[in-house]
Chains A and B, each alone.
Chain A
Amino acid sequence: MADIKGTQLIHEYLRHNKKFPHVFCSGCGHGIVLGSLIRSIHGLGLSKDDVCIVAGIGCSGRLAAYVDFNTVHTCHGRALTFATGIKMAKPGMHVIVVMGDGDSMAIGGNHLIHAARRNIGVTALILNNNIYGMTGGQCSPTTPAGANTQTTPMGQMEQSFDCAKLCTAAGANYVARGSVFHVKRLDSMIMEGIMNPGFGVVEIMTPCFTQYGRKNGFKSPVDMFHALKKNVIQSDRFDAIPEEERGEKVPSGVFVKKDTPGLEEKFYEMAARCQGGS
C-alpha cells in the first residue's frame, strides 16, 4: 500500500457496493472532506478495524455510508453521545464523529458542549456549510448575519455561532479550523486531532452551492471556492487586520492544543486503582 496515493488510495477505502458517484451535489465540499479523512487515516497507518466513524443526520451523515471502516449512522444531533459510549467501551478504538453545523451546534449543541467539558477522547469533524443543506436550505446557527436563505429571504438577523470559540471555552483539548480549499493543511489538522488525547474538534468550512450559494450571489461552485480561498486566512494574519476591516474573513489554524488525559483514560486508571486496592 506504500506506493499508491491520491484517488487510487481513496478507492481502496470506499465501499464500492454503495451507489457511486455519491449523493453530494456538484461542487459540494463534503467529498473533499471524505478524501481528506481517508488520507489522514491512511497516513497514520491505522487499521480499518481500529477506526469507527459515527455520523449524525444531514448531508454529512452520508459520509459514514461510503467508507469501509466500522460505521454508525445515528440520530439527529446525537452522534457525540453514541461516540461517547463506543469510546468508553473500547478505549483503543479511534472514534471519529462527522457532523454538520446544524447537527452539532443546534440540535446537538448541548452534547457538543458537554463532550468538550468531559474531554472524552473522540475527534469531531464539524462540516460547516452555513446552512441546513439536506432539508431545503433553512438558516442554521452558523449562517452569517445578513445572508439570504429559504427561511430568511430578507436576510438573517441573528448573530452566528463561532464553533471554534465555543469549543475552546467549553474545554476541548484540540480545536482547529480548516477549509476544503486548503486540503493539505486540513489533512494535517485531522491527523493531529486524531492522535491528540482528549476531545478534538476540527471545524471545516465547506461550500454549499445548491442551498446557500445560489441565494447569496455566487454564480457557480467555483465562485464559492474562490471565496474560501480569499476569506479563510491564517489566524495570525487575521489578528493583524483591524476589526472593522475583517468583513467576511475567517481565521483558520490550530487554536488550542493541550494534552490533558481524556475521560476514558481517567476512567480506566480509576478502575485499575480500585481493583488494585480491593
Chain B
Amino acid sequence: MSAKSKGKSRVTIFPDWCKGCGICAAFCPAKVMELNDQGKAVVVREEECINCGFCELHCPDFAIMVQPKVDSEIPAGSKSGQVNASPTGSVESEKSIKEKG
C-alpha cells in the first residue's frame, strides 16, 4: 500500500471480454479504472496502481491482467494496455469467430 509500490505494474484490459459490470472501477482503491461511454472499463490512471490485485481477482470475465512492469518499460509506461482485444490475441479470436460463423 505504500507510495513506493505505485507505478510498478501494468494493467491490461481486454475489451472483447469485458461486460462492463463496473466492479473493478467501483472497488479499485487507487481509482485506476473508469467506465467509458460504451460502458466498458478502461485504464485511466495506471501510474496510481498499487498492485493489490482486487480487480484481477474480482473480474468475473477474466478481462483484467495486472503484471509487474519490465524495467525497460517504466519510462514509456504511460502507454496503457488494450493491446489485444482478447487474451488469445485479436487475430486468433477473429479467426475463431469466422470458423464458427
Contacts and interface: CB of A to CB of B under 8 A. Distances in A.
Would you call the interface of chain B mostly helix, strand, loop, or mixed?
loop
A27 B17 contact: no
B60 A29 contact: yes
Contacts of B21: 26-27, 221-222
Contact of A35 (B19, B26, B62): B62
A181 B60 CA distance: 11
Interface in A140-156: none
A7 B65 contact: yes
A6 B65 contact: yes
Contacts of B19: 21, 25-27
A187 to B, nearest CB: 9
Interface string A228-256: 00000000000000000000000000000
Given A7-B65, A11-B87, A19-B100, A32 B17 contact: no
Contacts of B62: 7, 10-11, 14, 31, 35
A124 interface: no
A14 B18 CA distance: 16
Given A20-B17, A21-B17, A222 B23 contact: yes
A183 B56 CA distance: 11
Contacts of A25: 19
A28 interface: yes
B7 interface: no
A16 B66 CA distance: 21
Contacts of B100: 19
Size range of the chain A interface in the assembly: 20 to 34
Given A26-B20, A222-B23, A225-B23, A17 B96 contact: yes
B56 A32 contact: no
A14 B88 CA distance: 11
A225 B27 contact: yes
Interface in A20-66: 20-22, 24-32, 35
A184 interface: yes
Contacts of B17: 20-21
Interface of B: 16-23, 26-27, 53, 56-67, 86-88, 96, 100
8 contacts: A6-B57, A6-B65, A7-B64, A35-B59, A221-B23, A222-B21, A222-B22, A225-B23
Interface of A: 6-8, 10-11, 14, 16-17, 19-22, 24-32, 35, 180-181, 183-184, 220-222, 225
Given A7-B59, A8-B65, 4 more contacts: A11-B88, A22-B61, A30-B60, A221-B21
